[in-house]
Structure 1
Amino acid sequence: MPLLITDYSWTQTTSTVYISVPLKGAKASQVDIVATDQYIKVHFPPYLFEAFLAQPVDEDRSIAKVGNGAALITLLKKTEQLWDQLTLPTTHKETKKELRAKALVKHQEKLCAASKAKSEKQQTEKKYALKTMMKLEEEEREHIQKIKDDERKKTNAELEAWQQKQHEPLHYEKSTRQTLKDISEKSPQREMSVEKCGSKSRTQPVELPAPRSSGSIQVTFTPRVFPTALRESRVAEEEEWLRKQAEARRTCNAALEDLKDLKEEERNPDWLKDKGNKCFATGDYHGAVNAYSLAIKLNRKVPSLYSNRAACHLKLKNLHKAIEDSSQALELLTPAVPANAAARVRAHVRRGTAFCQLQLYTEGLQEYLAALKIDPENADLQKDTQRIRDVIQDSTFKD
């Protein structure tokens, strides 16, 4: 049985009625408001406010707002006059029952109409977007076709010019041969040419160019080597890693009971990770641990969250927790592919550091060697690995 609200307040002018309903600490998302021309309902369990209006109002222009701990309803009167009372007398039980039933039916029809209008609007927007995309694609195809036609015309013109140029030497050679033939026929001597200079003239023999000498050019080529890339043998592992990364991005346990009071951004693991990184950068390691822990509650498949929290635990000297988080990160960083190599190096180093601080130098050395195997050119790793070897060797000598 709902608890009826009686401590509401209302005021009016000749054209407007203002109703204020206290929300008793309820959130805005929990408040359900139904408003028609003669019926008002504000429901937030277990409380209920009902008003059967004494005069009809214009429901299309009326407004309901929720804020500052109250529901504020502004009703526009259909006739400008002052009301003697807000609601119908309690004696009109049958009238109230009928008004309630009509109001609920009308509200349901209004919701259905709004849903249908929204669906139609979405369909219209989708059709418009589809037409726009088709138009853009058609314009793109026409543009590409125009470029092809222009290139074809240009190529044909160049080809025709080249062919015409190829015929010109042949025509010149034929005309030269004909001229020499005519000269030789007119003169019994060997081929001569006549050169006039002023009033004098003399004959000169025509010397044809000697045939071109043949020869060979030595050409050497760089040998082409096609080594099989390492990645070609790791395609399956890389595809598995990409699949796991995509699955991790889709995973989010935002519906957990203890997370319902969080803000919208606090339900985003990426936002929490950035917050943890900022806290770590400023030295707030406890705040960083809290941020990473909440992000892990939301998504337990992101290895960087565990690895970053392990770094915080190292700063706070929570060495066993650092080992646990580093191990969890390495479990998620499988299969081992180049894309996650840097992350695996960090996880091994953090777990090795925790082992060394617990004076388990042999275990720590194994972790550093595993990191060095992934990144053998890392000078810092080489130096740290050698230091751990020296510590182990010194302790052996002392024993």
Structure 2
Amino acid sequence: DKEMMQRIREKSILQAQESAKEAMEAKASARREDQKYTLNVMMKIEEEERKRIEDMKENERIKATKELETWKEHQRKAEEHKIIQREEKLYQQEKQIEEGRKKLKHKGLTRNSVSRNLATKGRNSEIIFFEKLKEDSIPAPRSVGSIKINFTPRVFPTALRESQVAEEEEWLHKQAEARRAMNTDIPELCDLKEEEKNPEWLKDKGNKLFATENYLAAINAYNLAIRLNNKIPLLYLNRAACHLKLKNLHKAIEDSSKALELLTPPVADNANARMKAHVRRGTAFCQLELYVEGLQDYEAALKIDPSNKIVQNDAERIRNIIQGTELKS
């Protein structure tokens, strides 16, 4: 009947579930056994690898120790050889000195015996023989030797312990760049003398032209000096001043920014140049009516030199212009 079929079906389902559960447990147990076996194998492999690496390290240490001992033994033998040579040399020198003393002693005895014999002869013959004996008693000159001294090659005359290697290397690098630049075919250099190809000479020439208000000629001198050496910040700073005079405001800003870029790191020696660069760039910004940017440069200049009254007054005027309390001039 139907109830019997239902019970048989439920019993079959339970048996199937029990079989599936046992199969899953067996499978899980087998998987755990496999993982355990795999883990043991991996641990064994890692242990063997670690032991191999330790053996290699130990072999290298033993090898290095043997090499060090061999080197020490070689150094010891070399020192012993030097000591033996030095002692032999001293022995030879002492032997030569002793032989010289014996010769001098023998000559002194000979001179005394001859002088006693000369006492019975005439006065003239005594003087002649005495002069000869005097010449014979003069010892022979010493042997000539030479000592070799090797000095470390140095570009600068100062001693290495008293020099600043980093600054010297930077100076040499700049000089090399300047020489490479001067060796290039620049048409403006053809008619110049050798001393006129020096960036420092051109900078001084530009400063003199600026003092006479010949700003275009000063810019040309600074341009040529920058082509010879573009790592001198004062060239850009002075050219910025010329551009300000000629109202080339954007060029003045560029040159002032380039000068500030080269004036690094900020130290006490370049503080004055950095302040001028900020002031000139700030002036160019203000003349372009960019007062906020100009005020930033003036405040940076005041941080460098807080006691500068002129910069303080100009900064105060720019603040008033920004706040609208003073007319633009």
TM-score range for the pair, normalised by the shorter chain length: 0.3 to 0.5
More helix by share: 2
**How high is the TM-score relative to the length of structure 2?**
0.46
Larger radius of gyration: 2
